[in-house]
Structure 1
Amino acid sequence: MRTWPRSDASATSGGTVSVSSPAQPLVSPPSTPAVLPVGGVGAPGAHRGWLITSLVTLYLIWGSTYLAIRFGLEGGLPPFLMSGSRFMLAGSVLFAVLWLRGAPVPTARQWASSAVVGFLLLGIGNGGLVYAQQWVPSGVAALVVGSLPMWTALFGGLFGQWPGRAERWGLALGFGGIVVLNLGGNLGGHWLPTVAMLLSPLSWAFGSIWSRRLPMPQGLMSTAAQMLCGGALMYAFGLATGEHLPTTMPGARAIFAYFYLVTFGSLVGYSAYGYLLRNARPSLATSYAYVNPVVAVFLGGVLAGETMKPTAWVAMGAILGAVVLLTRKR
């Protein structure tokens, strides 16, 4: 998860807030970036270059993290210990770098806010996704998370900005896509993973909207604090539910997937997301929802032999059409 620009409450988030697909970069400029004027979508010159770089990062990297999560799970890594340690490791590295560069350490109140946002975005948002991927194909998981803008629009309304007529049609279309996805058996047929999968984007959206009203640390320190807090909560939950690290060394593919998630999914991707949320409209920051399902389905088919049922393709059209209706106005 971060502090949101104050200009738009109706759009939202692996991979991640100040931050997140699911994820704000070490690609940030040496100095604290200037926040855009209200309603701005970018700034000229180098600042625009950072925005474009962050967008491409989310489009490609967060779309690939779904397959990396699957490879980690197949290699025997337990879901919550894998995700929790991934974010704690990435958060520790980012926190150390920022601290050595003189960034202020969060106050107790800011740590508390970071824990709340980290719990919603990472603990439930990412944790529910990883848990469900033990039964759900990576492409379908990305498709469900692609419903994030629908939930963002809904929670934006609860906080005072109800969606307009086109957005309401988008909400109806998107929820219809989720129903088709479930009726077609694409969510695995297990009720608990299905609930976890559906709660994932809902929690991410709510945490993203609510974080705008919480006292968060500044800049990338917010990202680091959220990853540390959210990762620790996930790791503790994994231990409490009986998860344990594998007794034998996981295969090379699982190890590579894990460090790919640490480096690119968390450290780079979550940082890029937070940078966009601070410097662009939320609708632009969450535009990765258009691209991630396509990337995930392609990679899942090519590298893991995943296939999608016809009902999943129908649901994809409905959900992505809903995202278009929800964001086109902005």
Structure 2
Amino acid sequence: MSLPRKTMLIILAFFAIYVIWGSTYLLNKIVVTEVAPLYLASIRFTAASILIFIIAKILQLNLAISKRQFLNNIFAGFLFLVYGNGVFVWALRYVDSGFGALEASIQPLMVLALMRMIDGKKIKTSSIIGISLGIIGMYLLVSQQQLTYQENSLIGIIMIFTCVISWSFGSLFVARAELGPSYFVNTGYQMLSSGILLSLISLLLGETWLSPLQWSGSAQLSMGLLIIFGSIVAFTAFNFLLKEVSTEKVSTSAYVNPVIALILGWYVLDEHITMQSIIAAIILLTGVYFINSKRTIKPRMHGR
């Protein structure tokens, strides 16, 4: 018996945010070695939004949304893409892509903590165990000598942590906010507004704008993959999942993303994986497993 269409879409969407997003750490790392980070993000999201609107027109999707929906999409785009992604890519200049992915894997812990603060929901014992393991795992991860003494690595670690907060709050916001009826079109508005804002910030900070024609072939290919798969496919899947399943479940992408990123970083960029990183990853991911192994918080029912 074949799976219902909605179930199949959910499975494919989870594959997108698990595997595709796991690879974006590597792709961003490749491009950011040649291209200014905020300029990189502005090109990625502006190009993706233009392609989304072209595809939406071909598919005859309605692009009209209300003023409130438009403003909500701009705010969501800022939390996810301008701060959550733009600053994250900037921080990858100071830490390995695999390390950045591992630090980002505390997102389920952050989502749970924010739901406790915002909704006043009780955190169960299994969640407390998970949070404790997460803290221990993060301490092991950031206390390594080779990380501590890298120039500006502490700045990168702190900024990635603030990105995790921004992304986690954005996830809760989108799950509750009034957006347009099409997940695909919503993604387009979020990316267009974010791309424009990132361009302005890049100019204000005096970043060097290098023509894509002057990039290396690997950087051009990586940017193409980021635009099509990392932005259009995976981010649309992410918006879809936030409305269809509970926010905690969506945040479990943090289980798989670090594994994909570490393997690719080691295989492609020859990034070093220490035994302490492996132990920290196991402890940290065990922590987020404890949080999500049981339904600690009832998912909010979404009206249709």
Q: Same fold (TM over 0.5)?
A: yes
Which residue of 38, 45, 56 corresponds with 2:15? 56
Kindly provide the amino acid, as one letter, of the partner of residue 327 in structure 1: N
Q: Which residue of 1 aligns with 2:302?
A: none
Separation in 1, partners of 2:247, 2:292: 10
Q: What amino acid maps onto 2:264 in structure 1?
A: L
Aligned 8 A contact 1:66 1:142 in 2: yes
Choose from 105, 113, 121 the match for 2:80: 121
CA contact (8 A) 1:85 1:232 kept: no
Instruction: Work out whether 1:232 is the aligned partner of 2:190.
Output: no
**How far 1:286 sits from its partner (Å)?**
2.6
Change beyond 3 A, Cα 1:278–1:212: closer
- Could you tell me how far apart the structure 2 residues matched to 1:147 and 1:50 are? 26
* Distance of 2:54 and 2:178 partners within structure 1: 21
Distance 1:97 1:172 in 2: 45
CA distance in 2, matches of 1:280, 1:179: 31
Q: Alpha-carbon deviations, 1:170-211, whole Å to 9, x = none?
A: 112212222222211547552322221111111100111123
Q: Within the alignment, does 1:145 sit opposite 2:104 as a pair?
A: yes
Q: Distance in 2 between matches of 1:242 and 1:104?
A: 34
1:12 corresponding residue in structure 2: none
C-alpha displacement at 1:280, in angstroms? 2.4
Q: Distance in 2 between matches of 1:233 and 1:322?
A: 36
Once the two structures are TM-superposed, the CA of residue 142 in structure 1 deviates from its matched residue by 0.8
Q: Which residue of 1 aligns with 2:136?
A: 176
Is 1:67–1:299's contact at 8 Å kept on the other side of the alignment?
yes
Distance 1:115 1:268 in 2: 19
Which runs of no fewer than 5 residues in structure 2 stay unpaired? 296-304
Corresponding residue pairs, total: 287
Partner of 2:273: 308
Letter in 1 for 2:168: A
1:322 alignment partner in structure 2:
287
Amino acid at match of 1:91: S
Is the Cα–Cα contact under 8 Å of residues 145 and 201 in structure 1 kept in the other structure?
yes
Q: Distance in 1 between matches of 2:159 and 2:50?
A: 27
Of stretches 208-217 and 118-127 in structure 1, the one that deviates more from structure 2 is 208-217
Deviation by residue 1:200-257 (Cα, 9 ceiling, x = unmatched): 1111001111233433222322221111122222222111111122267011000101
The reply to whether residue 97 of structure 1 matches residue 34 of structure 2 is no
Q: Which residue of 2 aligns with 1:273?
A: 238
- Going from structure 1 to structure 2, the CA distance change for 1:106 and 1:296 (only over 3 Å counts) comes to same
Contact 1:120/1:204 (8 A) holds in 2: yes
Q: Deviations over 1:53-92 (max 9, x none)?
A: 1222222211111110111012x11101111220111122
2:41 corresponds to: 83
Instruction: After the TM superposition, list the runs of 4 or more consecutive aligned residues in structure 1 that deviate by more than 6 angstroms.
Output: none
Q: Relative to total residues, which structure has the larger helix share, 1 or 2?
A: 2
SS at 2:240 equivalent: helix
Query: In the alignment, residue 155 of structure 2 is paired with which amino acid?
Result: L
Change (3 A) 1:162 1:217: farther
Question: Structure 2 CA distance, aligned partners of 1:318 and 1:201?
Answer: 19
Match of 2:207 among 219, 243, 263: 243
Give the % identical residues: 26
- Residue number in structure 2 paired with 1:131: 90
Q: CA deviation at 1:120?
A: 1.0
Give how far 1:103 is off: 1.2
Partner of 1:286: 251
> Does residue 155 of structure 1 match 2:155?
no
Q: Confirm or deny: 8 A CA contact 1:154 1:162 kept in the other structure.
A: no
